[in-house]
Amino acid sequence: MQLRKAAVIRAAYEHSVRFETEKMLRANMARRSQSSGRWLQEHFSDPFVQRAQAQGWRSRAVFKLEEIDLREKMVKSGAICLDLGAAPGAWSQYLHRRLGKTGRVVASDILPLTPLPGVEFVQGDFREREVFERILTVVPERQVDWVLSDMAPSMSGIDAVDQPRSMYLAELALDMAARVLKQGGGALIKVFQGAGFEALLGEARSRFAKVKLVKPAASRARSPEVYLLAKDFRLV
């Protein structure tokens, strides 16, 4: 009798756990669905999205680069640029138009990139040494004018996970810049303010004469992203 009673209690407990777990999962899925719905609604009503579609750009991100470029007088005709985290290709598309036929754009991303005229592409995970080294074989040694990175990790929504991942990508981009830039070159790198941010800023200041943070209008106000703009690379 006691064994049967214990089995009944255990079964009731397990049923309760399954019920609560399923309830939590349904709630999470509902929140994600609502969030996705809001994002889609916001996305398609976004004036930058509409402008990008009307003007033939691959994404709204082009307007972040355009604003910074024109305001800060970054790229010039004939320059050599390395675009990290390039897909879907709006920054590379913009750079190619700005640089003219005498310029050169090398792009890289873990995702495939629909071919762009005048843009050389290296596909692979930038965090892997083999891909990092492959990019170094494509760009001319110490001849790059600008390294640009709009890289961001796949976000989990957990800051303790997302922030270290984003900072690691920013650190790799800064390291790449130090490997390929010519004297006086520059870097534009997406960063997320949080743990590790001040250390990255200090590292940039040790390598470049001018360092500032910029947040273009096309960067959504709620996003913690800013862009680290570093100029006048010191070749030591």
Q: Considering the candidates 23, 182, 190, 212, report the single residue annotated as catalytic.
A: 190
In-domain check, residue 51: no
Cα separation, 3 vs 144, whole angstroms: 76
Predicted confidence at residue 45, as pLDDT, reads: 74
- Select from 165, 233, 235, 179 the least CA-distant residue to 204: 233
Reported in sequence order, the residue ranges of the chain that DSSP labels E, i.e. its strands, are: 80-84, 104-109, 119-123, 144-149, 181-192, 208-214, 225-233
In-domain check, residue 50: no
Predicted confidence at residue 8, as pLDDT, reads: 43
Q: Give the tokens for residue 60.
A: 């709204």
Sheet holding 225-233, edge to edge: 119-123, 104-109, 80-84, 144-149, 181-192, 225-233, 208-214
Predicted confidence at residue 84, as pLDDT, reads: 98
In-domain check, residue 136: yes
212 in the same domain as 113 = yes
> What CATH number did the domain enclosing 221 receive?
3.40.50.150
Predicted confidence at residue 225, as pLDDT, reads: 93
33 in the same domain as 102 = no
217 in the same domain as 110 = yes
In-domain check, residue 53: no
171 in the same domain as 209 = yes
89 in the same domain as 125 = yes
Residue pair 106/137 in contact (Cβ under 8 Å)? The answer is: no
Q: How many domains does the chain have?
A: 2
159 in the same domain as 70 = yes
Unique residue bearing structure tokens 């991100």: 61
In-domain check, residue 198: yes
Q: Which range marks the domain in which residue 34 is found?
A: 1-45
In-domain check, residue 69: yes
Told to judge if 212 belongs to the known catalytic residues of this protein, a careful annotator would answer no
Reported in sequence order, the residue ranges of 103-206 that DSSP labels E, i.e. its strands, are: 104-109, 119-123, 144-149, 181-192
Contact partners, residue 83, CB within 8 Å, separation at least 6: 91, 92, 95, 105, 106, 107, 108, 148, 149, 150
Cα separation, 211 vs 232, whole angstroms: 9
186 in the same domain as 108 = yes
Reported pTM:
0.81
Q: Give the tokens for residue 230.
A: 């570093």
78 in the same domain as 139 = yes
147 in the same domain as 226 = yes
79 in the same domain as 17 = no
Radius of gyration of the chain measured on its C-alpha atoms: 23
What is the full per-residue pLDDT of the chain (236 aa) written as tens digits? 444 544 444 444 444 434 453 444 354 444 444 545 554 455 557 899 999 999 999 999 999 999 999 999 999 999 999 999 999 999 999 999 999 889 999 999 999 999 999 999 999 998 899 999 999 999 998 999 999 999 988 877 788 888 889 999 999 999 999 999 999 999 999 999 888 999 999 999 999 999 999 999 999 888 889 999 999 999 87
Predicted confidence at residue 211, as pLDDT, reads: 98
In-domain check, residue 87: yes
In-domain check, residue 103: yes
Cα separation, 79 vs 135, whole angstroms: 17
201 in the same domain as 167 = yes
Question: Which secondary-structure segment (H or E) carries 116?
Answer: none
154 in the same domain as 39 = no
